[in-house]
Structure 1
Amino acid sequence: MVSARRSGARRSSHPVAAVFLVAVAVVVLSPLAFAVVASLRTDAEVAADPLGWPSTPAWGNYGRAAEAMGYGRAVLNTLVVTGGAAVLTVLAGSLCAWALTRHVRRWTGALYQVFVAGLTVPVFVVLTPVYLLLRDLGLINTHLGAVLAHAALNLPFAVFFYCGFLRAVPVELEEAAVLDGCSTPRLFTAVVFPLLRPATATMAVFVVLAVWNDLIVSMLVLDDETLRPVTPAAYALVGPYGFEPSTLFPAVVLAAAPLVAVFLALQRHIVAGITAGAGR
């Protein structure tokens, strides 16, 4: 009798959960849907009725927006910065976390706390020191400078994330490899790093999302318009006195399209990596 009541309660809660999920999806997708619809309208139509539908889809808006923002060059710049930052963050974060969790010393606990404290520091606090450091190194307006800046800002979370994952990995696997004569570099590349594959997939997705959608750091480090990623390139279409909707909204859609396409294509692998990382 009790089990029947519980199963009935679970069945009755399903419609409520479904309605809640649909409402959340509508709220999340509404800005993207508005941008897509507005990108197919003329400036006059948007001014007359901002929430209306296009009388005739203006597909030519996308061509003009791509030309105005230098879309091909901007995407290439984004791929270089995003890929470099993801690789550097994953390598540095996993190596640092491995050292902190496996080679414990008196100072490793304090160093770990420093990385954790880095998660609480707002990005605006470190923008000036990062800019001055890159300027003194001659890395302003270079892809390398942008890669280093993004990797440094994402490193505290990477260390925190990998440390939590490594604490659940049996240390006996590494000890057995050492007894077999495995050197330290090979121990990491052949034993430890493959075990971190689920965490690495999750971390790489996090960094790619953060760097692709970044505006502030990219505008600070990459002032040259020929080096701008897609997000600053789209923002550059906003003038001091306004913007043209027929250019800005297509640029926003074009900036987000590659990231959405990659996420849809790899969503199974992304979810599997997040689930495996959480399961540990």
Structure 2
Amino acid sequence: MTRIADFASHLGLWPNSRTMRSQSRARHRPIRAISTAGLVLFGLLVLSPIVLMFSDSLRSDADVDAHPLGIPVHPEWHNYSAAFHEMNFSRTLGNTVLITGCSALVVALTGSMCAWSIVRHARRWSAITYQVFVAGLALPIFVLITPLYQLMHQLNLLDSFMGIILAYTALGLPFAVFFFTSFLRSVSVELEEAATIDGCGVIGTYWHVVLPMLRPATATLIIFSSLSVWNDLVLPLILLTSDSKKTVTLSVYSTIGTHSYSVGQLLPTVVLGTVPLFVIFLILQRHIVAGIGAGATKG
């Protein structure tokens, strides 16, 4: 059959493979061009608010009121120096990094331990425990504010880093357990059985086998937990009262007045609070792709 097709193509009665590939590329070229143009347009739409925010942060309030979509002809960099000193950026950034990092790590460790126990050491209470954690995903934060505040007050953990880290850990555990449980159910148990046969205990199996196996999922969970904790305003506003423990979001919120706000004062603080998280996300974005890809492959 191949010889007949080659002979027919040699006589011009049947197109050869090279001609068919060129025709296919010609047909798909307009579609690719439209797709590329659509992606570029979507990217510009996504980036336009960020560019506008940075542009307006270098302008005065009068200039922004006169030309809302204008560009800074004479950039006022002193807006950033004033915002840096007013929000005490180094201290608030350190507080935010401490709270975010500790909360994400504790959520990842405790959530992976609980999920591993539910999946690999099934008991009568395992299904009920898993359902309780999943039910926690449906509870909005505003329902938990009052009992959480009363609990922290009784434990003398108000206005403390320990208290807010524990609060974020409790609120992040339902999603962590659900996330790790779904991942572990698609992973083979053979490596864990081999570790048990070699004499490895429960803690050793978790630390040397399970935790490295969960590395892509753990990296993804830590990144998403960090994003939610970093951008949160509700818990720091309620549980932290002293200026020495302010987070970035609280410092940004403090620049907004009761009836008005200054663009030259607000937007530089927003940029200063966003840039560190944006840089961290760019550095660790490959871990997100790896975690999603691993989950899709195992699923």
TM-score range normalised by the length of the shorter chain:
over 0.9
Alignment partner of 1:266: what SS?
A: helix
Partner of 2:94: 76
Report the Cα offset of residue 29 of structure 1. Answer: 2.0
Go from structure 1 to structure 2 and tell me whether the alpha carbon gap of 1:135 and 1:167 turns closer, same or farther (over 3 Å shift): same
Matched, 1:216 2:234: yes
- Structure 2 vs 1, CA of residues 157 and 10 (structure 1 numbering), >3 Å: closer, same or farther? farther
**How many pairs are equivalent?**
280
Change (3 A) 1:247 1:174: same
Measured against aligned partners, the alpha-carbon deviations of 1:52-105 in whole angstroms (never above 9, x if no partner) come to 111201111100011111111100000110011011100110000000001111
Amino acid at match of 1:198: P
With over 3 angstroms needed to count, the CA separation of the structure-2 counterparts of 1:7 and 1:116, relative to structure 1, is farther
Is 1:194 the counterpart of 2:212? The answer is yes
- Cα deviation code 1:243-277 (max 9, x no counterpart): 11111100000000101111222333332233223
Contact 2:248 2:273 in 1 (8 A): yes
1:92 to 110, 116, 137: 110
Identity percentage over the alignment? 45
Residues 179-225 of structure 1, C-alpha deviation per residue, up to 9 Å, x if partnerless?
11111111100111110000001001011111111111121111222
Larger Rg: 2
Equivalent residue for 1:106?
A: 124
Q: Which moved more, 1:162-171 or 1:8-17?
A: 8-17
Amino acid at match of 1:190: H
Provide Cα deviations, 1:120-177, integer angstroms capped at 9, x if missing partner: 2212111222111111111111111111111111111110110011111111211111
CA RMSD in angstroms, aligned pairs only: 1.9
Q: Distance in 1 between matches of 2:193 and 2:145?
A: 42
TM-score w.r.t. length of structure 2: 0.88
Q: Which moved more, 1:155-164 or 1:214-223?
A: 214-223
CA deviation profile, 1:7-55 (whole Å, cap 9, x unmatched): 7665443233333323332332222212100110012111222221112
1:57 equivalent in structure 2 = 75
From 174, 188, 192, the equivalent of 2:192 is: 174
CA contact (8 A) 2:252 2:266 kept: yes
SS of the residue corresponding to residue 91 of structure 1 reads helix
